[in-house]
Structure 1
């Protein structure tokens, strides 16, 4: 654990000694300082103009002589003027964005006010955009399949600009896909086990991928306890982090920063500074292998602890943690919806909706992937149902469209992805649709605009080979979510 070293709270007071003239040394030094201040005041007179606001940080303008009652009042006035100027610039930027909107002829003041309100709610972690009402879930979604991996896909991540997909699989390779062209950009091949010192990539199953919010760094973790940092544009290996004592099971970048959080089967989570390529600290608390990790803007990370039946929110700065105990089976996946709400999935087939302010889930859907929640049927699903009807469908992955009411869950070998709506105030989960995807859905992610849901599918579960669906294919499935048609006013 990290620790802090602080200086002593008390300091010895110095006693002023008198010189030969009878004055204390403290009085002499004070008089000398006052003389120096008067000289500096004469030499550093400056002319205050209207155009000097942007030159405050220059060496010649570090201090201004402003005719005012006190220096503190002038500094306070300058800070207020700066805030006002930045606010005007932000409002002008919003107005320009509204001008670019093809559907609006004039600047919509209500839209600007709505944007400002959303920004405030997002910063506080309470934003819930109601997007489910915009989609047509009865329509059959458009699905595109990307083939390139030989073995089961284990993890994937979508770039912040929604242009690329990075996927990894059990053959230890990473592939970069172009979403628009549906073609490969490059492949980072995997190597044979035991060649970690000579091979630049991974040599064991890759179980975690993460990309920074500015798209500058890509992180990958594997069973060899290694975390590789890549350049996403060309696949160049930049650095390798070593420190975990077991499989790296999860990775996530804090939004807006290059702080990387990692989770491992060694029961710990670690914090890394990718700018400095340095280790920061280790977070202890889980009693079993950590199965997933996620984070947003705050200096916090959330982890699921598998069979210790707990979910933990780590307050990194405060060096504390919030513990949420679950009932049932192993907690295999967790995802933040916003800073105050998250969703989790367990191997008993249940999904839970949580608030960080309550120790118990706000809503629990048991057997979430049972046939009673079916909304779409197909020949593929009927064939799969005949094979696995006697087996439980544990939750293998969950996804959330950030700061909205739309979430998704995958039921491992039932070959379905289910979409759910979080009700007003995050009090319940409402089933919306079921999408047939043949195979184990080991990873999912929405694009930031909510137009696509990307799923990584394989014949086997990401963590083992105890079950295999021979009729499934190892591929990436891009699901286009259709929105309701809107009638434009003339």
Structure 2
């Protein structure tokens, strides 16, 4: 949180806050020969840990050294630690439905959280899943135009979707019924209409379910209360379409990306703009974030960036392909999909992909021929975070494919393909891993290059059944 203190009081002509241009670690800088550049592509990027100072913790909790009879920074840390342990104990009690909770279970949770924070947690779950029956896939229909994005609530009980018609719908995933609808408005009614008046291109929800953010082609970001669907705030500042939104996990820090080549940082606790992050040379198409105060982005400039906010630096990866989507697997690895029908697996320690799967959505599946090479590009990727399970969609390929990421994060292995006609514009796993939500339309979310009339504009809920244990695999 020292980052917010450093930026305080600096003003400029836009949004009242000075823009900061982050130094870029560029593998192509210097022009010292092909051999020197190639060697640098394989170099390791120095890792780092986030360390909050006592002063920053005190400032976050309203502690001032000039006030008497208040908590010190150390006392604030101790109180927060006790509250966190109490929360873990309560969650374990609810999970086990007993009054006595052993210290081992709490210790296990602490170890899991520590591994997640460091980016080292990696659960091997992909082999447990089997291909679902196509008849079990549910279609939630309510949008008039192509569905562009969808997210699942932290409790996996509700979903939210948005469309090119500007509408936003809240769904009950137990009954498949609409709980709330905010219709899209006509162009020119931005000042009077509650919701969006243009295509909604992206959305994100906080890990505690307190805030929902939606971004549109009219350069606006709306912040909603997911429970009541009351609009809390509208953010302006992007000069072109808002193409990506991501909340930092376990916080209310929001990252937004746009066609204006900017990444913006927002603080939803204060409902304020924080700063701009520079680096991209073209339109940014997707963004993602996890626990650390950083964001990974891809764009039409063939660049991949990791913005490290506390350090005020940005890491630029090797120019590769035009990418439309990105998803963090953990704090150290992520996956991208691009226009060349290629899936790329990355490590934050390397400046080029550690693994590339070409023609990922080409060929035949279960006797059915998919589109030939060159017809598809990867339009959506998703990961069941901190596990080895990956999902991707290939434009009008007609399938959602699931992949297994190896434990060393160096290969991707196809698991199975799920038939799903239409343009899959976004994918998201439910937090519990029981299902996958896909936003599908007759058109791509960013354009109208093709139109698939046979497809339906809908949100699809894809169950992910697990294999039945055999006698050999049962304990004892």
Q: Is TM-score (shorter-chain normalized) higher than 0.5?
A: yes
User: Displacement, 1:389?
Assistant: 3.8
User: Displacement, 1:227?
Assistant: 0.6
* Equivalent position SS for 1:412: coil
Give the number of aligned pairs.
412
- Counterpart contact for 2:344–2:353, Cα < 8 Å: yes
Q: 1:86 to 1:438 in 2, by over 3 A?
A: closer
Aligned to 1:264: 258
Q: Deviations over 1:29-85 (max 9, x none)?
A: xxxxxxxxxxxxxxxxxxxxxxxxxxxxxx99879xxxxxxxxxxx99x99998997
- Counterpart contact for 1:141–1:479, Cα < 8 Å: no
Give the structure, 1 or 2, with the largest relative contact order (CA under 8 Å, sep 6 or more).
2
The TM-score normalised by the length of structure 2 is: 0.79
Aligned to 2:20: none
- Counterpart contact for 1:459–1:468, Cα < 8 Å: yes
Matched, 1:435 2:418: yes
CA distance in 1, matches of 2:169, 2:180: 6
Aligned to 1:350: 342
* Equivalent position SS for 1:354: strand
How much is the aligned-residue C-alpha RMSD, in angstroms?
3.2
- Counterpart contact for 2:401–2:414, Cα < 8 Å: yes
Instruction: List aligned pairs for 1:23-102, cutoff 5 A.
Output: 96=93, 99-100=96-97
Q: Deviations over 1:265-294 (max 9, x none)?
A: 000000111122211100011000000011
Matched, 1:301 2:284: no
CA distance in 2, matches of 1:418, 1:209: 23
| 1:366 paired residue among 354, 358, 362 | 358
- Counterpart contact for 1:138–1:433, Cα < 8 Å: no
User: Displacement, 1:201?
Assistant: 1.2
Aligned to 1:468: 451
Instruction: List aligned pairs for 1:19-418, cutoff 5 A.
Output: 96=93, 99-100=96-97, 114-137=108-131, 142-306=136-300, 308-327=301-320, 329-371=321-363, 374=365, 376-377=366-367, 385=370, 388-389=371-372, 391-418=374-401
- Counterpart contact for 1:340–1:357, Cα < 8 Å: yes
Q: 1:88 to 1:225 in 2, by over 3 A?
A: closer
Instruction: List aligned pairs for 1:10-21, cutoff 5 A.
Output: none
User: Displacement, 1:217?
Assistant: 1.2
* Equivalent position SS for 1:285: coil
Q: Which consecutive unaligned segments of at least 5 residues does structure 2 have? A: 10-66
Q: 1:119 to 1:330 in 2, by over 3 A?
A: same
CA distance in 1, matches of 2:95, 2:172: 30
User: Displacement, 1:451?
Assistant: 0.3
User: Displacement, 1:213?
Assistant: 1.5
CA distance in 2, matches of 1:98, 1:232: 25
| 1:478 paired residue among 450, 461, 466 | 461
CA distance in 2, matches of 1:110, 1:444: 36
User: Displacement, 1:91?
Assistant: 8.4
Moved more, 196-205 or 447-456: 196-205
* Equivalent position SS for 2:155: coil
CA distance in 1, matches of 2:209, 2:272: 19
Q: 1:214 to 1:81 in 2, by over 3 A?
A: closer
Higher relative helix content: 1
CA distance in 1, matches of 2:414, 2:267: 40
Q: Which consecutive unaligned segments of at least 5 residues does structure 1 have? A: 7-58, 64-74
CA distance in 1, matches of 2:289, 2:392: 19
CA distance in 2, matches of 1:132, 1:262: 31
- Counterpart contact for 1:141–1:481, Cα < 8 Å: no
Q: 1:254 to 1:86 in 2, by over 3 A?
A: closer
Q: Deviations over 1:300-337 (max 9, x none)?
A: 1111122x21111111111101111242x311111111
User: Displacement, 1:481?
Assistant: 0.5
The TM-score normalised by the length of structure 1 is: 0.77
Moved more, 269-278 or 435-444: 269-278
Q: 1:268 to 1:437 in 2, by over 3 A?
A: same
Q: 1:80 to 1:319 in 2, by over 3 A?
A: closer
Q: 1:273 to 1:390 in 2, by over 3 A?
A: closer
